[in-house]
Amino acid sequence: MKIMVLGGDGFCGWPTALRLSRDGHEVIIIDNLSHRRIDRELGVESLTPIADIDARLAAWRRVSGRTITFHNVDIAQDYDGLRSVLAEQAPDAVVHFAEQRAAPYSMRDATRKRYTIDNNVNATHNLLVALVDLAVDVHLVHLGTMGVYGYDGNGLEIPEGYLDVTVSNEAGQTFPRSILYPTQPGSVYHLSKSLDQLLFQFYARNDGLRITDLHQGIVWGTQTAETRLNDALVNRFDYDGDYGTVLNRFLVQAVNGYPLTVHGSGGQTRAFINIQDTVHCVALALANPPARADRVRITNQLAETQSVRAVAEMVAGITGVQIANVDNPRKEAESNTLRASNRTFRALGLEPILLQDALLNETLEIVERYKDRFHPEVVPARSLWTRDNRPGLVPGLSEDNTV
């Protein structure tokens, strides 16, 4: 297949592009390199050193003998650029990762809230409009998030996108309905993915677009079989308060002798998936497209659910560091249960990688290797959900988080 990967320079997009290229697909990356721009804006950088996009692609050609092409297009702002590259390339499938992807960044201030909604909604909508305008039958695979569901399940298993409910009329007769799961996003970032869902629903229904929406858990890990092949192919490893996901942040703290910053009691239960499974799931989704008249196929992309406390204890158990229960910068329930179906990918053969010592150790080695690139001052989560929240600072550490 010819596959276009929108956001193919990012943390999930880059290893996906390499995997699809290795599998023999013709891969075209579209990216505006916004992640690199936001790094400069925030004064942070990936713990792993990320080569220029040209150097990345050249390294891939050397080690694999395969060519991935790259087009620098801001799909949220440059509709004509997006439309013409779609028209020229005529891909069979488009994988859409091209959105601002961090909840804390989306809550940082008015500017970032506005950027997240404007960028993510227009990126997705431009893509849908272009596909309709070109009248092409392309399978669109989008990266959503488990966070759209919210965490008020009261012990009920979260289904894959659609909820079976019963409604009653005045006479007490009951009628079954299968509805889009009523979303309760917990940040502006997650909200943007809820908005995406409604865009997809409309364009699948009105125009028959074939769409798969992958509701992914929190990603951990860094490398995949392909990114390991050469130093210039290494994947991003974000550990700052805005872009660092929780497990990666804990590992960096542990290696550098900092306490693990657990927000509140750590009773928040979340879904997790290893980056290698992200890549695997996207490949499975591409191989199993919906039919033209189908509703949007929504698939949960997770390996397991764990509480933040349990994840911290696992890391503390391996490394011997302390756990610090700090203020929670987020507005969220202190504690919740979470059960979520991942039946679709299991049925397609996914044997998910679970959080375990061996794989944590692999990531610990990467953190150890790039220890000199660690900046403690960027670790605390300082983006506040409301005026009543407080940053996740460890008492006793100075303002810049140094000992």
Contact with a second copy (CB under 8 A): which of 156, 225, 287, 310?
156
Residues 6 or more apart in contact with residue 307 via CB below 8 angstroms: 266, 267, 268, 269, 270, 335
Nearest to 302 by CA among 284, 287, 281: 281
Helices (H), 180-329: 188-207, 246-255, 275-287, 308-319
Q: If binding is defined by CB under 8 A, does position 168 make contact with a second copy?
A: yes
Q: If binding is defined by CB under 8 A, does position 132 make contact with a second copy?
A: yes
Contact with a second copy (CB under 8 A): which of 386, 395, 396, 399?
386
Q: If binding is defined by CB under 8 A, does position 118 make contact with a second copy?
A: yes
Buried b (16+ CB within 10 A) or exposed e, 56-82: bbebbeeebeeebebbebbbbeebebb
Q: If binding is defined by CB under 8 A, does position 334 make contact with a second copy?
A: no
Place of tokens 């010819």: 2
The distance of closest approach from Cβ of residue 96 to a second copy in the complex, given in angstroms and rounded to an integer, is 16
**Three-class secondary structure of residue 46 per DSSP:** coil
Q: If binding is defined by CB under 8 A, does position 169 make contact with a second copy?
A: yes
Residue 141 is inside which H or E element, if any? Answer: strand 139-145
Place of tokens 């889009």: 180
The distance of closest approach from Cβ of residue 138 to a second copy in the complex, given in angstroms and rounded to an integer, is 16
Catalytic residues: 145, 189, 193
- DSSP single-letter state for residue 160: S
Contact with a second copy (CB under 8 A): which of 42, 58, 136, 163?
163
Q: If binding is defined by CB under 8 A, does position 171 make contact with a second copy?
A: no
C-alpha to C-alpha distance for 148 and 158, rounded to whole angstroms: 11
Contact with a second copy (CB under 8 A): which of 5, 140, 195, 209?
195
Nearest to 260 by CA among 202, 197, 195, 326: 326
C-alpha to C-alpha distance for 355 and 221, rounded to whole angstroms: 10
Cα 344 to the chain's mean position, in Å? 19
The distance of closest approach from Cβ of residue 124 to a second copy in the complex, given in angstroms and rounded to an integer, is 9
Q: If binding is defined by CB under 8 A, does position 291 make contact with a second copy?
A: no
Residues between 45 and 84 that touch a second copy (CB under 8 A): 79, 83
Contact with a second copy (CB under 8 A): which of 126, 274, 278, 401?
126
Judge contact between 303 and 217, C-beta under 8 A. Answer: yes
Q: How far from 103 is each of 82, 132, 148, 211, 394, CA to CA, in Å?
A: 26, 30, 12, 24, 21
Q: Segment near a second copy (CB under 8 A), from 38-46, 184-192, 247-255, 363-371? A: 184-192
Name the residue nearer to a second copy (CB basis): 199 or 321. Answer: 199
The distance of closest approach from Cβ of residue 159 to a second copy in the complex, given in angstroms and rounded to an integer, is 10
Strand intervals (E) in 149-238 = 162-168, 174-180, 210-216, 218-220
Q: If binding is defined by CB under 8 A, does position 194 make contact with a second copy?
A: yes
Q: If binding is defined by CB under 8 A, does position 294 make contact with a second copy?
A: no
C-alpha to C-alpha distance for 187 and 381, rounded to whole angstroms: 14
Contact with a second copy (CB under 8 A): which of 24, 65, 154, 349?
154
Name the residue nearer to a second copy (CB basis): 343 or 371. Answer: 343
Interface with a second copy (CB under 8 A), residue total 54
The distance of closest approach from Cβ of residue 145 to a second copy in the complex, given in angstroms and rounded to an integer, is 14
Q: Segment near a second copy (CB under 8 A), from 4-12, 115-123, 300-308, 351-359? A: 115-123
Residues that bind a second copy (CB under 8 A): 79, 83, 109-110, 113-114, 117-118, 121-122, 125-126, 129-130, 132-133, 135, 154-157, 163-170, 174-175, 177, 179-180, 182-186, 188, 191, 194-195, 198-199, 201-202, 205-207, 331, 385-387
